[in-house]
């Protein structure tokens, strides 16, 4: 996570000019020039430092508003208040280590040599005074242990000239801490960083582990569990916000504890809590964490006799835990066999059965009907499902590791066979799909164009319907593609993607053909529809499928040689069966029957 970003971060602004003289109002252009010059010089210095001392972890410019704090706390000369303060971080072993001495000379401290060399390079920078500090992570952690949290926060908010991850991790945890404390200051007892970050073995992609301890001792109106969950939810919500502000992508892992639960775990000598206290570094503390750390160092945090008994009894639970895990393994194997079996049943076009019915359905479909699956694989399925059924009914009390090994071996062979079976089913499915598409399309075309060969159908469709604008040319292309896809499949040249494309395209063509057919039927239906006006109102005469109906309101009557009672079902059936006809023929006797039924009437066109 090398950070060489030159953008400002909260608390830092290199565009401002710092001088011992009175402020001078300068143009934005002049300020930009000075900033670019300073940045260029800092880049050159950074490149020199990391080439000469590649173990350097970070280089940052401290926020100007925090310089006075460092002067007061770390005995830095007061005259450096208007300088740029360059804060360099190197590993502890380099900070305390010594150089290899030549014969007859004493070894020198690496940090002293490094400081002398960097100061020589700083002297070459004209027009900008820079004060240099070289520290190790231990120095920063000591500030935390001394409750000098403002110093650490200023280091975290420094402008990153160079960073291998240390400054970014510190900045992310500090930003998140500020968001949490600002929201829940009354309840936050300690905010502690730990894990690889404080141990010194952090990598550029390491997670950043932090612990938040919440005081639940004065909460009266809310259950402790509810309090913990509410605060935990809010604290997690701030993680993404903190990552955005800090500009760091490393995951921030937050563990939230209630104070009373934490004390209980410490009393019971929980190893996680001991490790947390040992390695943890507070960047915010209300006087609680440091006493724990001190007591641990003094050897005063000791487990109670009850805690010792509890840990001893854990050995007695070992066999039960192992048995439980073996049973869990059996359940995992069961689902590993069941799920792909049900998947293939669905692929074959059936709804997934229950786990008890799955072996029976697999046998019926793929062994008896399709003859695709061998009997030995069905025995594996029967065995696994049978074990699970006994487990469900509490008949199975335990299972050995040897049995698990055999089940795992058999299940692997079963799943491997199912993968091959899937290919077989896919091929069969492809065949059914392409034939269904072909039949549906040419069935509709037959209803429109009449029965003829494929070649004649395409020729007539293009000449009579595409060229005359009844169908777009795209539909002709789809028709040709369907024919080609069917031929390719028979030659074994089509894959799933091409088949899926043909299926999607066929839907467009089929919908268009159905819509055209319906329009034709509707037009023909309208030819046989008349509106009749008579003394008492309006009636409708409808001729469909060579049948004539008289409709008055909700009443439907059929007109043959006489007037018969009918209903909407018979009318609807006649409409659905209506076939295209050039002419509509109505028996003149129908009008005599209508006159008898309605009296005098007029036909409205």
Summarised one tens digit per residue, pLDDT across range 233-276 is 888 889 999 999 999 888 999 998 888 888 888 776 677 777 88
What own/partner pairs with CB < 8 Å and gap ≥ 24 does 489-495 have?
489/430, 489/431, 489/434, 494/430, 494/434
Same domain, 23 and 148: yes
* Average confidence score pLDDT of the chain: 83
CB of 478 closer than 8 Å to CB of 406: no
Same domain, 171 and 290: yes
How confident is the model at residue 3, as a pLDDT?
42
Same domain, 513 and 557: no
Same domain, 93 and 169: no
How confident is the model at residue 405, as a pLDDT?
94
- 389 CB neighbour count, 10 Å cutoff: 14
How confident is the model at residue 447, as a pLDDT?
79
How confident is the model at residue 306, as a pLDDT?
53
Q: Of 258, 278, 310, which residue sits at a domain end?
A: 310
Task: Please determine, for residue 20, whether its predicted confidence score (pLDDT) is greater than 70.
Answer: no
Same domain, 234 and 363: no
Residue 85: partners with Cβ closer than 8 Å, 6 or more residues away: 61, 62, 67, 70, 130, 131, 133
- Structural domain count of the chain: 4
Task: Please determine, for residue 180, whether its predicted confidence score (pLDDT) is greater than 60.
Answer: yes
pLDDT band of 15, cuts 50, 70, 90:
very low
Nearest to 87 by CA among 38, 159, 142: 159
Same domain, 505 and 540: no
Same domain, 386 and 274: no
Kind plus residue range of the DSSP H or E element containing 285: strand 281-285
CB of 158 closer than 8 Å to CB of 133: no
Phi, psi of 571 (to 5 degrees): -65, -45
Task: Please determine, for residue 380, whether its predicted confidence score (pLDDT) is greater than 90.
Answer: yes
Same domain, 467 and 414: yes
CB of 58 closer than 8 Å to CB of 91: no
Cut 0.85: pTM above it: no
pLDDT, mean of residues 209-227: 80
pLDDT, mean of residues 355-379: 91
Structural domain that includes position 243: 165-310
Residue 135: partners with Cβ closer than 8 Å, 6 or more residues away: 87, 88, 89, 90, 95
Same domain, 348 and 431: yes
What CATH number does residue 254 fall under? 3.30.460.10
How confident is the model at residue 28, as a pLDDT?
54
Same domain, 49 and 66: yes
Give the whole-angstrom CA distance, residue 234 versus residue 332. Answer: 35
How confident is the model at residue 6, as a pLDDT?
32
Same domain, 474 and 582: no
Q: Where are the alpha helices (DSSP H) in 450-472?
A: 454-460
Least reliable range by pLDDT among 22-36, 67-81, 138-152, 296-310: 22-36
Eight-class DSSP state of 63: P
320-361 confidence digits (pLDDT tens): 788 888 999 999 999 999 999 999 998 888 888 998 999 999
Q: Of 140, 164, 188, which residue sits at a domain end?
A: 164
CA distances, 131 to each of 79, 84, 295, 477 (Å):
10, 6, 39, 77
Give the whole-angstrom CA distance, residue 550 versus residue 566. Answer: 9
pLDDT, mean of residues 223-236: 81
How confident is the model at residue 305, as a pLDDT?
60
Strands laid side by side in the 252-258 sheet: 252-258, 208-214, 188-194, 281-285
111-158 confidence digits (pLDDT tens): 999 999 999 999 988 878 899 999 999 999 999 999 999 999 999 999
How confident is the model at residue 525, as a pLDDT?
67
pLDDT band of 303, cuts 50, 70, 90:
low
pLDDT, mean of residues 201-215: 88
How confident is the model at residue 571, as a pLDDT?
79
How confident is the model at residue 26, as a pLDDT?
39
Kind plus residue range of the DSSP H or E element containing 86: strand 84-89
Same domain, 480 and 533: no
Q: Of 310, 326, 341, which residue sits at a domain end?
A: 310
pLDDT, mean of residues 287-314: 71
Q: Are strands 58-61 and 159-163 parallel, antiparallel or unpaired?
A: antiparallel
């Amino acid at each position: 996570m090398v950070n060489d970003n030159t953008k400002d971060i909260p608390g830092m602004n290199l565009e401002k000019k710092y001088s011992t003289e009175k402020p001078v109002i300068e143009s934005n252009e002049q300020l930009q020039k000075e900033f670019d010059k300073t940045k260029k010089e800092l880049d050159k210095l950074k490149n020199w430092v990391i080439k000469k001392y590649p173990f350097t972890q970070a280089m940052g410019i401290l926020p100007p508003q925090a310089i006075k704090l460092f002067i007061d706390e770390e005995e830095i000369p007061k005259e450096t208040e208007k300088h740029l303060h360059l804060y360099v971080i190197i590993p502890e072993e380099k900070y305390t280590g010594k150089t290899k001495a030549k014969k007859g000379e004493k070894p020198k401290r690496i940090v002293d040599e490094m400081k002398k060399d960097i100061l020589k390079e700083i002297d070459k920078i004209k027009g900008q005074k820079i004060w240099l500090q070289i520290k190790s992570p231990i120095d920063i952690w000591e500030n935390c242990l001394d409750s000098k949290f403002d110093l650490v926060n200023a280091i975290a908010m420094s402008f990153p000239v160079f960073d291998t991850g240390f400054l970014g991790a510190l900045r992310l945890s500090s930003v998140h801490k500020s968001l949490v404390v600002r929201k829940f200051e009354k309840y936050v007892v300690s905010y502690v960083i730990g894990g690889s970050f404080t141990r010194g073995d952090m990598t550029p992609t390491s997670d950043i582990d932090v612990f938040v301890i919440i005081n639940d001792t004065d909460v009266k109106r809310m259950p402790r569990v509810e309090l913990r969950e509410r605060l935990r939810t809010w604290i997690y919500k701030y993680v993404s916000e903190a990552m955005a502000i800090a500009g760091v992508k490393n995951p921030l892992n937050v563990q939230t504890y209630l104070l009373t639960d934490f004390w209980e775990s410490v009393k019971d000598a929980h190893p996680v809590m001991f490790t947390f206290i040992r390695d943890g570094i507070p960047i915010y503390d209300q006087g609680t964490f440091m006493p724990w750390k001190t007591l641990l160092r003094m050897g005063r945090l000791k487990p109670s006799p009850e805690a010792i008994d509890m840990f001893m009894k854990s050995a007695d639970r070992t066999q039960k835990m192992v048995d439980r895990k073996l049973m869990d393994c059996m359940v995992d194997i069961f689902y590993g066999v069941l799920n792909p079996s049900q998947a293939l049943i669905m692929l074959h076009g059936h709804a997934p059965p229950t786990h008890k019915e799955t072996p029976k359905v697999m046998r019926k479909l793929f062994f008896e009907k399709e003859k695709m699956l061998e009997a030995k694989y069905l025995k594996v399925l029967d065995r696994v499902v049978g074990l699970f059924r006994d487990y469900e009914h509490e008949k199975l009390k335990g299972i050995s590791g040897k049995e698990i090994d055999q089940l795992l071996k058999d299940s692997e062979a079963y799943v491997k066979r199912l993968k091959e079976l899937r290919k077989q089913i896919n091929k069969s499915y492809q065949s059914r799909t392409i034939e269904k598409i072909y039949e549906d399309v040419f069935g509709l075309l037959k209803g429109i164009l009449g029965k003829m060969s494929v070649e004649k159908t395409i020729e007539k469709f293009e000449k009579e319907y595409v060229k005359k604008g009844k169908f777009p040319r795209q539909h002709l292309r789809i028709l040709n593609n369907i024919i080609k896809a069917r031929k390719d499949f028979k030659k074994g040249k089509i894959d799933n993607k091409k088949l899926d494309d043909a299926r999607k395209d066929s839907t467009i063509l089929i919908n268009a053909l159905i819509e055209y057919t319906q329009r034709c039927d509707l037009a023909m239906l309208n030819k046989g529809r008349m509106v009749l006006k008579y003394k008492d109102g309006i009636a409708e005469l409808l001729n469909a499928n060579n049948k004539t109906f008289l409709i008055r309101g909700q009443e439907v009557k059929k007109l043959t040689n006489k007037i018969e009672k009918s209903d909407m079902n018979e009318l609807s059936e006649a409409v659905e069966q209506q076939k295209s006809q050039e002419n509509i023929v109505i028996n003149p006797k129908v009008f005599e029957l209508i006159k008898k039924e309605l009296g005098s009437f007029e036909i409205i066109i």
